[in-house]
Structure 1
Amino acid sequence: MGYTTEFTGAVKLGRKLTMAEAKELLEIAESGDSQTFTGVNAYFQWVPADTLEHIVWDGNEKFYKYVEQLKWLCGWLVDRNISANGDLYWQGEETGDTGILSVADNKVTVKPNAKPATKSPRPLTMDLLGQMALDQVISA
């Protein structure tokens, strides 16, 4: 048992992630030990969108410490000179557990009881990243 919070919306990046940057984030998400990377003891579930232009929720259940992890991610992006802006709407299992995580210039603000954001882009997976890399090689 646990508590599930779902997210819609996306954080727009100032530039597309490189394949290497996207791979690094996916490896953290798939590692099962994100604390080694993020310093936060919870699964890392913020991943690149399939366009590499946004950060979105990966769609998996039991996402804990999502604010702390989003703050870590924004710092990771700053280290790579990537700006981040956008809103992520959350809806928890309990009635009234809603709000927006707003990112403005890589700073995270929590706004409880706010209205939903727009539809989210698709989360990127390692399989899709591999196909995108193959497509780049073929088209080169």
Structure 2
Amino acid sequence: MPTLTAAQKRAQAQADYDAFLAGCPSRRLLDRISDKWVTLVLAALGSDGPHASGSNRVGEPRAMRYSELARRLAGVSQKMLTQTLRSLERDGLVTRTVTATVPVTVTYELTDLGLSLHHMMRGVKAWAEAHMDEVLANREEYDTRVT
């Protein structure tokens, strides 16, 4: 059996990934990226909303400070935002940059990998916002029919 290079091993593993199989590691990744806070952090860092400058240029990625992210993501706890950012950094979707200032400045920014996921998640977010009225009406109809 020939020895495989690291690149060949990665290519083989990628060909073997099948999220429908119970033991596939891509299932854990799907679980992580389907989290609402991950979706919202990716949307915020991808600039899906107003800029600090006051402009509203959607879709332009930019670095954000932790406090800015916390304000943008209404309802997120400090613990949950910290855990989400750490997991995104570990997966290579976000970079964390510490600048020696007083006080220390920490910013988060999408990597190229994170930006590629952001484009897909932005579409999911937009779909949810556009179809919420229909979903709520369907839920109401279902609940009156079932009960």
> Which one has a larger percent strand, Structure 1 or Structure 2?
1
User: Of the two structures, which has the highest relative contact order with CA contacts closer than 8 Å and spacing of 6 or more?
Assistant: 1
* Shorter-chain TM band: 0.3 to 0.5
Larger-gyration structure (1/2): 2
